[in-house]
Amino acid sequence: MTDLTPDGVEAQRLEIEAQLSEQLETLELRLARIHAHQKNAGREVSRDWDDRASERQNDEVVEALLPHTLAEIAAIRRALERLQGGDALTCERCDGPISPKRLAIVPETRFCAECAG
Ligand SMILES: [Zn+2]
C-alpha cells in the first residue's frame, strides 16, 4: 500500500477528476450523437452515407449504446461529486483507501479492490 501524503492525495484527486471529466466529455459527445441519430431515424438522411446496409447496422449499435452510455454518464457524475466532496479515495464499505491504480482503471468505483472482490 502506498503512503499518500495530503499533497499526494490532492494531486491524485485532481488527476482522477481530470480523467473523469475527460471521460464524461467523450460520453456526452457520444450521447449527443445518439440523440441526433435517433432524431434522424426514419428520415432520408442517407444521402451522405455510402452504405445504407452499414447504416442500418450502425442504427442497432447506436441504440444498444444508449442505456450503457446513460449509465456510464450517471456513474461518472456520481464519482465526480464524490471526488469534489473529497471522499472518492475511501472505500464506502470498509473505509479503507482505494488504491490509485484501481481508481485509474475504474475511477467511478466506490469500493476498494477487496470489498469489490
Ligand atoms: Zn473496502
Show me where the domains of the chain are located: 6-88
Reported as a single tens digit per residue, the pLDDT across 106-117 is 877 889 999 998
At residue 51, the pLDDT reads 59
pLDDT at residue 59 is higher than 70: yes
Residue 96 C-alpha to ligand 1 middle, in angstroms? 5
Q: What is the mean pLDDT of residues 31-52?
A: 71
Residue 97 C-alpha to ligand 1 middle, in angstroms? 7
Integer CA distances (angstroms), 61 to 8, 19, 38, 52, 68, in order: 41, 26, 12, 14, 11
Residue 18 C-alpha to ligand 1 middle, in angstroms? 24
Mean pLDDT over all residues of the chain? 81
Q: In this structure, how many other beta carbons lie within 10 angstroms of the beta carbon of residue 98?
A: 22
Residue 100 C-alpha to ligand 1 middle, in angstroms? 14
Taking alpha carbons only, the member of 80, 117, 116, 112 closest to residue 2 is 112
Residue 49 C-alpha to ligand 1 middle, in angstroms? 50
pTM above 0.75, yes or no: no
Task: Kindly state the DSSP code that residue 47 receives in the 8-state scheme.
Answer: G
